[in-house]
Amino acid sequence: MKQTIKASKDVLAAEAEEILKLKEDIKQRRKKRNFSRSKLRKYFAEAKRLKEEFGFSFDDIALWLRQKKRIKMTADGVRSSYRRIEKELESDQSEE
């Protein structure tokens, strides 16, 4: 009788451990990444290069987007999106 109780506790402990692992796995999958739906996201790598390498301002990047990529964004929209996307990428790198 005691062996069956002990065996059932071991099974229950194993099941509990499995459920906790499953719970953690679900939590990781549900962890939302708030990727912005910005029009800039598609061209972020190029915009970042323009800003860092060529010293473009956000106004200049907005003009480049309008002229070369046919995307209409204000300089404030570019600034906001740029900073948000950059922060997301930094947080992704720091998590790894």
pTM of the model: 0.62
CA distance 65 to 82: 13
Structure tokens at 78: 């570019």
Q: Is the pLDDT of residue 7 over 70?
A: no
pLDDT tens sequence across 24-61: 888 888 766 666 588 999 999 999 999 999 999 999 99
The pLDDT, as a whole number, for residue 5 is 61
- Residue type (1 letter), 1: M
- Residue type (1 letter), 5: I
Q: For the chain, what percent of residues have pLDDT higher than 90? A: 57
Q: Is the pLDDT of residue 6 over 70?
A: no
| Residue listed under structure tokens 């309008």 | 66
Give me the residue spans of the domains in the chain. Answer: 1-31, 41-95
Mean pLDDT calculated for residue range 3-31: 81
Q: Which residue has the higher pLDDT, 93 or 84?
A: 84
The pLDDT, as a whole number, for residue 13 is 86
